Structure 1
Amino acid sequence: MSQKPNLVSCYFERDGDQWLGFCLDFTLVTQARSLEEAHRKLDSQIRDYVSDALVGQDRAYANQLLNRRAPLKYWAKFYWTMFQQVLRHRKSKRRRAVKEHMSIPATCA
Protein backbone atom coordinates (compact mmCIF):
# COMPACT_ATOMS: atom_id res chain seq x y z
CA MET A 1 0.00 0.00 0.00
CA SER A 2 1.60 3.29 -1.05
CA GLN A 3 1.73 6.30 1.24
CA LYS A 4 0.89 9.85 0.28
CA PRO A 5 1.32 12.88 2.52
CA ASN A 6 -1.89 14.54 3.63
CA LEU A 7 -2.45 17.70 5.54
CA VAL A 8 -4.55 17.29 8.65
CA SER A 9 -6.45 20.41 9.73
CA CYS A 10 -6.48 21.10 13.46
CA TYR A 11 -7.91 23.93 15.49
CA PHE A 12 -7.16 24.76 19.13
CA GLU A 13 -9.28 27.01 21.30
CA ARG A 14 -8.95 28.12 24.91
CA ASP A 15 -12.04 27.51 27.03
CA GLY A 16 -11.53 28.89 30.54
CA ASP A 17 -8.41 27.20 31.93
CA GLN A 18 -8.52 24.38 29.35
CA TRP A 19 -7.43 24.10 25.72
CA LEU A 20 -9.65 22.18 23.32
CA GLY A 21 -8.09 20.60 20.24
CA PHE A 22 -10.19 19.67 17.21
CA CYS A 23 -9.08 17.51 14.28
CA LEU A 24 -11.50 18.62 11.58
CA ASP A 25 -10.62 15.89 9.11
CA PHE A 26 -11.62 13.04 11.43
CA THR A 27 -13.96 14.83 13.87
CA LEU A 28 -11.75 14.18 16.90
CA VAL A 29 -11.59 16.36 20.02
CA THR A 30 -9.29 16.50 23.03
CA GLN A 31 -8.74 18.82 25.99
CA ALA A 32 -5.78 19.69 28.18
CA ARG A 33 -4.47 22.36 30.53
CA SER A 34 -1.94 23.76 28.05
CA LEU A 35 -1.82 24.26 24.29
CA GLU A 36 1.26 22.06 24.02
CA GLU A 37 -0.40 19.23 25.93
CA ALA A 38 -3.58 19.53 23.84
CA HIS A 39 -1.45 19.40 20.70
CA ARG A 40 0.40 16.26 21.88
CA LYS A 41 -2.81 14.54 22.94
CA LEU A 42 -4.55 15.34 19.65
CA ASP A 43 -1.54 14.16 17.64
CA SER A 44 -1.57 10.87 19.54
CA GLN A 45 -5.32 10.52 19.14
CA ILE A 46 -5.08 11.12 15.37
CA ARG A 47 -2.32 8.54 14.95
CA ASP A 48 -4.21 5.95 17.02
CA TYR A 49 -7.43 6.65 15.12
CA VAL A 50 -5.77 6.27 11.71
CA SER A 51 -3.92 3.13 12.81
CA ASP A 52 -7.12 1.57 14.17
CA ALA A 53 -8.98 2.42 10.97
CA LEU A 54 -6.28 0.87 8.80
CA VAL A 55 -5.20 -2.23 10.73
CA GLY A 56 -7.74 -2.63 13.54
CA GLN A 57 -11.04 -4.47 13.52
CA ASP A 58 -12.71 -1.50 11.78
CA ARG A 59 -10.43 -1.68 8.73
CA ALA A 60 -13.39 -2.72 6.54
CA TYR A 61 -14.72 0.81 7.20
CA ALA A 62 -11.40 2.63 6.76
CA ASN A 63 -12.56 4.70 3.81
CA GLN A 64 -15.57 6.00 5.76
CA LEU A 65 -13.59 6.57 8.97
CA LEU A 66 -10.79 8.44 7.20
CA ASN A 67 -13.22 10.69 5.36
CA ARG A 68 -15.31 11.81 8.34
CA ARG A 69 -15.32 15.62 8.37
CA ALA A 70 -16.31 18.04 11.13
CA PRO A 71 -19.41 20.27 10.78
CA LEU A 72 -19.12 23.51 8.82
CA LYS A 73 -19.08 25.78 11.91
CA TYR A 74 -15.74 24.27 13.01
CA TRP A 75 -14.26 24.69 9.53
CA ALA A 76 -15.40 28.33 9.58
CA LYS A 77 -13.59 28.86 12.92
CA PHE A 78 -10.51 27.12 11.54
CA TYR A 79 -10.31 29.29 8.39
CA TRP A 80 -11.14 32.49 10.29
CA THR A 81 -8.32 31.75 12.74
CA MET A 82 -5.91 30.92 9.88
CA PHE A 83 -6.88 34.20 8.20
CA GLN A 84 -6.26 36.17 11.40
CA GLN A 85 -2.90 34.46 11.94
CA VAL A 86 -1.77 35.41 8.45
CA LEU A 87 -2.99 39.00 8.77
CA ARG A 88 -1.47 39.59 12.18
CA HIS A 89 1.73 37.60 11.59
CA ARG A 90 1.34 36.30 15.12
CA LYS A 91 -0.71 33.79 17.02
CA SER A 92 -3.67 34.54 19.26
CA LYS A 93 -3.57 33.69 22.95
CA ARG A 94 -7.03 32.10 22.62
CA ARG A 95 -6.99 30.29 19.26
CA ARG A 96 -4.60 28.45 16.96
CA ALA A 97 -5.16 26.78 13.61
CA VAL A 98 -2.58 24.42 12.10
CA LYS A 99 -2.18 22.10 9.14
CA GLU A 100 0.13 19.18 9.76
CA HIS A 101 1.53 16.51 7.49
CA MET A 102 0.51 12.92 8.09
CA SER A 103 1.04 9.92 5.84
CA ILE A 104 -2.12 8.00 5.02
CA PRO A 105 -2.20 5.14 2.51
CA ALA A 106 -3.38 6.46 -0.87
CA THR A 107 -6.10 3.81 -1.12
CA CYS A 108 -7.86 5.30 1.91
CA ALA A 109 -7.32 9.03 1.42
Structure 2
Amino acid sequence: MSSNKRKVRCYAEKIGKQWQAFCIDLNLAVQADTLPDVRAKLEAMINSYLKLAMEQTDPQYQRDMLFRPAPLAIQLRYWYVRAAVAFDNIGRPRHHGGRHDHRGKFELMSFRQPALC
Protein backbone atom coordinates (compact mmCIF):
# COMPACT_ATOMS: atom_id res chain seq x y z
CA MET A 1 0.00 0.00 0.00
CA SER A 2 1.36 3.36 -0.96
CA SER A 3 2.17 5.76 1.86
CA ASN A 4 0.33 8.55 0.06
CA LYS A 5 -3.06 6.82 0.36
CA ARG A 6 -5.62 9.07 1.97
CA LYS A 7 -6.96 8.20 5.41
CA VAL A 8 -10.59 8.72 6.28
CA ARG A 9 -11.29 10.22 9.69
CA CYS A 10 -13.77 8.52 11.97
CA TYR A 11 -14.90 8.42 15.57
CA ALA A 12 -17.06 6.26 17.77
CA GLU A 13 -19.15 7.36 20.70
CA LYS A 14 -20.96 5.33 23.33
CA ILE A 15 -24.53 6.55 23.67
CA GLY A 16 -26.48 4.67 26.29
CA LYS A 17 -25.61 1.00 25.85
CA GLN A 18 -24.74 1.24 22.15
CA TRP A 19 -21.74 2.44 20.21
CA GLN A 20 -22.23 4.69 17.19
CA ALA A 21 -19.43 5.31 14.71
CA PHE A 22 -19.18 7.99 12.05
CA CYS A 23 -16.88 8.54 9.09
CA ILE A 24 -16.79 12.30 8.68
CA ASP A 25 -15.05 12.22 5.29
CA LEU A 26 -17.62 9.98 3.58
CA ASN A 27 -20.72 10.70 5.70
CA LEU A 28 -21.20 7.08 6.80
CA ALA A 29 -22.53 5.82 10.14
CA VAL A 30 -23.05 2.48 11.89
CA GLN A 31 -24.03 1.25 15.33
CA ALA A 32 -23.31 -1.87 17.37
CA ASP A 33 -23.28 -3.14 20.94
CA THR A 34 -19.48 -3.14 21.40
CA LEU A 35 -16.57 -0.98 20.31
CA PRO A 36 -14.84 -3.80 18.37
CA ASP A 37 -18.11 -4.57 16.55
CA VAL A 38 -18.78 -0.95 15.62
CA ARG A 39 -15.17 -0.57 14.41
CA ALA A 40 -15.43 -3.69 12.23
CA LYS A 41 -18.81 -2.64 10.84
CA LEU A 42 -17.56 0.84 9.95
CA GLU A 43 -14.41 -0.49 8.30
CA ALA A 44 -16.47 -2.95 6.24
CA MET A 45 -18.91 -0.21 5.26
CA ILE A 46 -16.09 2.12 4.20
CA ASN A 47 -14.46 -0.59 2.09
CA SER A 48 -17.78 -1.52 0.43
CA TYR A 49 -18.66 2.11 -0.19
CA LEU A 50 -15.28 2.92 -1.73
CA LYS A 51 -15.40 -0.18 -3.91
CA LEU A 52 -18.82 0.87 -5.19
CA ALA A 53 -17.58 4.41 -5.80
CA MET A 54 -14.61 3.17 -7.82
CA GLU A 55 -16.90 1.03 -9.99
CA GLN A 56 -18.81 4.08 -11.20
CA THR A 57 -18.31 4.94 -14.85
CA ASP A 58 -19.55 8.53 -14.61
CA PRO A 59 -16.58 10.60 -13.36
CA GLN A 60 -18.81 13.29 -11.82
CA TYR A 61 -20.87 10.74 -9.89
CA GLN A 62 -17.68 9.05 -8.72
CA ARG A 63 -16.28 12.39 -7.48
CA ASP A 64 -19.57 13.11 -5.70
CA MET A 65 -19.34 9.77 -3.90
CA LEU A 66 -15.69 10.19 -2.93
CA PHE A 67 -16.01 13.77 -1.66
CA ARG A 68 -19.05 13.63 0.58
CA PRO A 69 -18.30 15.19 3.96
CA ALA A 70 -20.61 14.69 6.92
CA PRO A 71 -22.88 17.53 8.02
CA LEU A 72 -21.24 20.27 10.05
CA ALA A 73 -22.75 19.05 13.34
CA ILE A 74 -21.08 15.63 12.92
CA GLN A 75 -17.77 17.25 11.94
CA LEU A 76 -17.89 19.51 14.98
CA ARG A 77 -18.61 16.50 17.20
CA TYR A 78 -15.52 14.78 15.73
CA TRP A 79 -13.37 17.75 16.74
CA TYR A 80 -14.93 17.77 20.22
CA VAL A 81 -14.17 14.05 20.61
CA ARG A 82 -10.64 14.59 19.33
CA ALA A 83 -10.05 17.34 21.89
CA ALA A 84 -11.59 15.29 24.72
CA VAL A 85 -9.38 12.31 23.91
CA ALA A 86 -6.29 14.52 23.66
CA PHE A 87 -6.93 16.14 27.06
CA ASP A 88 -7.49 12.74 28.68
CA ASN A 89 -4.26 11.43 27.16
CA ILE A 90 -2.04 14.22 28.53
CA GLY A 91 -2.82 13.44 32.14
CA ARG A 92 -5.34 16.19 32.75
CA PRO A 93 -7.18 15.55 36.01
CA ARG A 94 -10.35 13.61 35.31
CA HIS A 95 -13.61 14.13 37.10
CA HIS A 96 -14.56 10.52 37.72
CA GLY A 97 -18.26 10.01 37.28
CA GLY A 98 -18.68 13.59 36.08
CA ARG A 99 -19.58 14.74 32.63
CA HIS A 100 -15.92 15.39 31.78
CA ASP A 101 -14.76 11.78 32.23
CA HIS A 102 -14.36 10.71 28.58
CA ARG A 103 -12.58 7.38 29.03
CA GLY A 104 -14.60 4.52 27.60
CA LYS A 105 -17.04 6.84 25.86
CA PHE A 106 -15.12 8.00 22.80
CA GLU A 107 -12.72 6.44 20.31
CA LEU A 108 -10.91 8.11 17.43
CA MET A 109 -10.37 5.96 14.36
CA SER A 110 -8.91 6.33 10.91
CA PHE A 111 -8.81 3.87 8.08
CA ARG A 112 -6.60 3.88 5.01
CA GLN A 113 -8.49 3.78 1.79
CA PRO A 114 -8.08 0.44 0.03
CA ALA A 115 -5.59 0.18 -2.84
CA LEU A 116 -8.45 0.40 -5.36
CA CYS A 117 -8.82 4.12 -4.65
- State the TM-score, normalized to the length of structure 1: 0.82
Which structure has the larger Rg?
2
| Unmatched segments (≥5 aa) in structure 2 | 91-101
Q: Quick check: 1:8–1:101 contact (8 Å CA) kept in 2?
A: yes
Q: Quick check: 2:43–2:111 contact (8 Å CA) kept in 1?
A: no
Counterpart of 2:8 in structure 1 is: 8
Counterpart of 1:101 in structure 2 is: 112
CA distance in 1, matches of 2:66, 2:57: 10
CA distance in 1, matches of 2:11, 2:4: 23
CA distance in 2, matches of 1:15, 1:86: 20
**Structure 2 residue matching 1:22: 3-state secondary structure:** strand
- State the TM-score, normalized to the length of structure 2: 0.77
CA distance in 1, matches of 2:24, 2:57: 21
| Unmatched segments (≥5 aa) in structure 1 | none
Assess, with a 3 A threshold, how the Cα gap between structure 1 residues 68 and 99 changes in structure 2: closer, same or farther: same
Give the drift of 1:34: 0.2
CA distance in 1, matches of 2:111, 2:62: 20
Aligned residues: 102
Determine what percentage of the aligned residue pairs are the same residue: 25
